[in-house]
């Protein structure tokens, strides 16, 4: 670099090729030690989060609207995780998964720590999403005996 007089990279290793044994084919570089920052003891390290590119924009918009509808909009910060798990599912199934997430929060389990694991688990449970969605629209969803211990279920 012209401002410091030192090169940005330094050569770590040069490797000869397999076919051409007399030619160098691979060059391994590292950043010169003058440009590396040293970590000081007791110093907090912060990293700026990367802004994700807008993939599956329609799904993201729909998931965010359903999260807002279910009053758990703060989970939209993990939108990439939601999209990763729910990108190949239909809207009705996404609605059912988010409804299951809302039920988990209502049952005093709190917000899940492993959101991807929880979403995958709820996605497998919503294979009967058409029935569950119709029950939720009719208002009889709480009467379906899902996620209830056998002791409490026998009272019905």
Angle between helix 91-104 and helix 115-125 axes, rounded to 10 deg? 120
CB-based burial label for 56 (10 Å; 0-12, 13-18, 19+)? middle
Query: Cα–chain-centroid distance for residue 121?
Result: 14
Q: Is 32's pLDDT higher than 60?
A: yes
**Would you say the pTM of this structure is higher than 0.75?**
no
| Three-class SS state of 152 | helix
Question: What pLDDT score was predicted for residue 153?
Answer: 46
Per residue in 66-120, pLDDT tens?
Answer: 999 999 888 888 888 888 899 899 898 899 899 889 988 888 777 888 899 999 9
Q: Three-class SS string for 10-59?
A: EEEEEEECCCCCCCEEEEEEEECHHHCCCCCCCCCCCCCCCCCCCCCHHH
CB 64 within 8 A of CB 73: yes
Percent of the chain at pLDDT exceeding 90: 12
Per residue in 5-21, pLDDT tens?
Answer: 778 888 888 888 888 88
Please tell me what DSSP assigns to residue 105: I
């Amino acid at each position: 670099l012209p401002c410091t007089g030192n090169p940005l990279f330094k050569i770590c290793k040069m490797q000869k090729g397999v076919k051409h044994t007399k030619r160098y084919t691979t060059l391994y570089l590292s950043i010169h030690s003058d440009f590396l920052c040293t970590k000081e003891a007791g110093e907090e390290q912060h990293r700026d989060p990367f802004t994700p590119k807008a993939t599956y924009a329609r799904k993201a918009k729909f998931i965010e609207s359903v999260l807002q509808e279910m009053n758990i909009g703060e989970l939209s910060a993990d939108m990439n995780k939601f999209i990763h798990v729910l990108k190949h599912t239909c809207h009705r199934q996404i609605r059912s998964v988010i409804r299951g997430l809302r039920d988990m929060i209502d049952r005093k389990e709190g917000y899940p720590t492993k959101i991807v694991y929880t979403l995958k688990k709820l996605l497998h449970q919503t294979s009967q999403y058409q029935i569950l969605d119709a029950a939720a629209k009719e208002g009889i969803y709480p009467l379906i005996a899902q996620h209830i211990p056998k002791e409490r279920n026998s009272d019905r």
